[in-house]
Structure 1
Amino acid sequence: MTVHIDTLTERSAAAVVVVFPHAGGSPRFFAPWSSSLPETFELAGVTYPGRDALLDAPSAPDIPALAADCAAELAPLARSRPVLLFGHSMGGHVAFETARRLEGIGCPVAGLVVSGADAPSRGTIERWHLASDVELADHIGELDPKIRAVLAEPALARMFLPTIRADYHLVETYRADPWATVSCPTVVVSGDSDPEITPDGIARWIEHAPGGCRFRFTRGGHFSLATDPSEIYRCLDEVLGTRVG
């Protein structure tokens, strides 16, 4: 099992933002950021098994194993330049576990920004990975109408749903220990109409980032960052300034 780190910008900058996609997602989701991300940053993305160039690779057994592979790939980069990890939804938990592993081997992490994700130790009682294809597609379509249109095509549904289901299995069987922490500056971003998060789940992030956890609340649903990533950019600037500015 392996992951890829893909470059999404063609410039050299002082720091690198590494994006960790949501369930079923790939770095291509964040490609539009390459034209609007402040020039302070380069942009790179993690490709998980089961999609894009890794379409035939088997899914990770769990999120900690996936994060271990991500940390191994990112360690050389983290030793050479400031690296900020941004994770959305499932990617928030993968980014958190990756930051833990990088810090555990002495690789500094300049900052962690997560959006659309409850605290790692909260867990979930949902079991969408056991739902029928129709139920799973409907659930995903409620979060993002663009995905609904894709999954309405039978051939595309057959292609994408197995990967989405495997990712949901990772999310829905994951729960970190309450004492699992990172030391890097951390910002948690939450949309005010995001059905995938809870007030308690957001508040408990502070337990996992005792060195400094801040919260930002925005208007919008689960994928509002796709149309307006400006708040994410402000958070990246904030944590970069805290660490190396």
Structure 2
Amino acid sequence: MNGGPARRLPATLVRLTGPGQAGSLVFMPDMGGSVFYARALVQEIGGLAGCLGTRLDPALSADLGRLTVPELGRRLAQDIARAGLPQPLHLGGFSFAGYVAFEAARHLDALGLQVETLWLFDSEVLRKVPGFRRWHAPLAETRRALGFTRRNWRVMLGGRPHPEVLHAYEEVPMYLWEHPEGCREIIRGLYRASTEYRPEPWPDPRLLGRTVVLRGVLERRHRGFPDDLGWRQLIPRCDVVDVGGKHLGMMTDPGAVSQVAAAMREGLAAGIGNTMGRTSA
């Protein structure tokens, strides 16, 4: 083991744990610009992989008004590549952060750095894929339209929208008063980026390692979503792991976090064996 000083990380990266045998696991930022969602999970798997978080540095924050999801993924990928992290490399993202993880993996591939495993935590992309038709799931679409109308009928009749409520159709509503004041402008910028996001399929699936979609079954199963939450339209090969609980509890409820951690421990341990085999060869 090299006893020299650790390389200084770019401002967008922060270490959450020490190194691990399974390489490096980098969590992408959520709509608030942080990885707070990963805290409980990191406590369970931190001894296996070296965990890192991403955040918006001043340069990214200054570009919030025009930042897109692919651009955010590209700039984070550049910093990850520059950091020289221990291999193999794994990326993870919950909900919106899953989009960023997908785009970062795409750009890392373009930089010649393959992602061993892409972990997508209840990140539904179905409605964002070009060619999606709402009538494919009429019951789910009816419920969504009714919910949107119930929350926004005053605005739909010509009223002024509440300045602290962000709600675009097909997006989860965000009530800014529920979030720290320092995160609200970040949420505004990334919410806009999410509403405009239209991902493109992975150019060559053979060049991508394993993709694992973990879905919270208490909500997704009954809302017209396919088991992969739409990701197989972008990545033909992906595994699906069902986790008990709802979307917002997947990364905080102890029972759900334990299920997520168990799936990740199994996947990361398998990666250790594959890496050792390649090294021996």
Pairwise TM-score range, normalised by the shorter structure: 0.7 to 0.9
**The residue matched to 1:117 in structure 2 has which SS?**
coil
- 8 Å contact kept, 2:25–2:49: yes
Instruction: State the partner residue of 2:74.
Output: 68
Counterparts of 1:196-235 in structure 2, within 5 Å, are 199-200=225-226, 202-210=228-236, 212-224=237-249, 225-228=251-254, 229-235=257-263
Q: Per-residue displacement from partner, 1:150-181 (whole Å, max 9, x unpaired)?
A: 44xxxx44x43221111111111001124556
Deviations 1:68-98 (A, max 9, x none): 1111111145674111101111110110111
Q: SS of the residue aligned with 1:26?
A: coil
**Partner SS state of residue 92, structure 2:** strand
**Number of matched pairs:** 226
- In 2, Cα distance between equivalents of 1:199 and 1:117: 11
Is 1:160–2:183 an aligned residue pair?
A: yes
Answering whether residue 50 of structure 2 is matched by residue 42 of structure 1, we say yes
Deviation sequence 1:28-86 (CA, Å, 0-9, x none): 4433444322511111001035xxx7795331521111111111111145674111101
Partner of 2:217: 192
Among candidates 118, 130, 140, match of residue 174 of structure 2: 140
Cα 1:76–1:134 change in 2 (3 A) is closer
**Contact persistence 2:201–2:234 (CA under 8 A):** yes
Change over 3 Å in CA distance of 1:139–1:176 after alignment to 2: closer
Q: Establish whether residue 7 from structure 1 lines up as the match of residue 32 from structure 2.
A: no
Provide, for residues 184-221 of structure 1, a one-character-per-residue CA deviation record: whole Å limited to 9, x for no partner. 101101112447x85148353123223x3111122222
Shift of 1:5: 0.8
5+ residue gaps, structure 1: 142-146
- Is the 8 Å Cα contact of residues 243 and 260 (structure 2) preserved in structure 1? no
SS at match of 2:13: strand
Contact kept? 1:16, 1:44, Cα under 8 Å: yes
RMSD value, Cα: 3.5
Instruction: Report percent identity of matched pairs.
Output: 22
Separation in structure 2 between the aligned mates of residue 77 and residue 238 of structure 1, nearest angstrom: 26
Which residue of structure 1 lines up, in the alignment, with residue 63 of structure 2? 58
Runs of 5+ unmatched residues, structure 2: 1-9, 135-143, 153-159, 274-281
* Per-residue deviation, 1:16: 1.4
Shift of 1:227: 2.5
CA distance in 1, matches of 2:62, 2:34: 14
Larger radius of gyration: 2
1:177 and 1:74, CA in 2 relative to 1: closer, same or farther beyond 3 A?
A: same
Q: 1:181 touches 1:208 (CA, 8 Å); kept in 2?
A: no
C-alpha distance 242-204 of structure 1, shift in aligned 2 (>3 A): farther
Q: Is the 8 Å Cα contact of residues 119 and 212 (structure 2) preserved in structure 1?
A: yes
Distance 1:161 1:42, change over 3 A: same
- Equivalent of 2:192 in 169, 178, 194: 169
